[in-house]
């Protein structure tokens, strides 16, 4: 919000002006107190700014550059959404590094010891298109329409992103 940035700037300018006044008057003790106040206020405002910008991708593992946040709609694909949410809650990452070329091999690894079930797809999370997928992925049997619709939804969202791009999956 622009008004919040303007308010932050106003307070920072006021504190800077007071620092200059104190410095000109020559009171070292007041100057030290003003500097520490200035630093505390600066930290508070930068913290508020970080809270305000909560749309920016929050990373779960290290300082990763997230190319896109995908808001996954649980109302459209409830079974897949529940699977992703549960897998993340149980320790799987919410970050996907796109690697389309390795998808077939990772799918083979993740589904290797999971039997098929008539009328259901085997959904994997992290997805096979993600470097994080493959052996150890969480697998759940879900209805084909839900699974394939979800796959199409994600595929459309990442279609223009190159391999190596990182996306964050957020179940809404």
| pLDDT one-digit tens code per residue, 62-100 | 456 999 999 999 999 999 999 999 999 999 999 999 999
| In-domain check, residue 57 | no
| pLDDT one-digit tens code per residue, 11-61 | 566 665 665 665 566 655 555 565 555 554 554 455 544 434 333 344 444
Q: Are residues 87 and 154 in the same domain?
A: yes
The reported pLDDT for the residue numbered 58 is 40
Strand partners, 116: none
**How far is it, in rounded angstroms, from Cα 129 to Cα 132?**
9
Q: Are residues 78 and 26 in the same domain?
A: no
| In-domain check, residue 30 | yes
Would the pTM of this model clear 0.85, i.e. be above it? no
Nearest to 131 by CA among 160, 102, 107, 153: 102
**How far is it, in rounded angstroms, from Cα 30 to Cα 33?**
5
Looking at the 3D structure of the chain, how many domains does it have?
A: 2
**How far is it, in rounded angstroms, from Cα 54 to Cα 17?**
31
């Amino acid at each position: 919000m622009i008004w919040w940035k303007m308010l932050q700037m106003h307070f920072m300018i006021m504190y800077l002006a007071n620092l200059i006044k104190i410095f000109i008057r020559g009171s070292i003790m007041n100057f030290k107190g003003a500097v520490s106040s200035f630093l505390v206020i600066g930290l508070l405002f930068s913290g508020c700014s970080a809270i305000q910008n909560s749309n920016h991708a929050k990373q779960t593992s290290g300082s990763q550059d997230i190319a896109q946040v995908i808001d996954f709609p649980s109302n459209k694909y409830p079974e897949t959404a529940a699977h992703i949410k549960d897998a993340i809650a149980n320790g799987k990452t919410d970050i996907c590094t796109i690697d389309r070329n390795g998808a077939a091999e990772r799918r083979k690894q993740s589904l290797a010891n999971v039997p098929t079930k008539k009328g259901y797809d085997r959904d994997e999370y992290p997805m096979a298109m993600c470097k994080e997928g493959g052996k150890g992925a969480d697998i759940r049997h879900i209805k084909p329409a839900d699974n394939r619709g979800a796959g199409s939804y994600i595929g459309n969202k990442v279609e223009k992103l190159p391999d190596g791009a990182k996306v964050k999956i957020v179940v809404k």
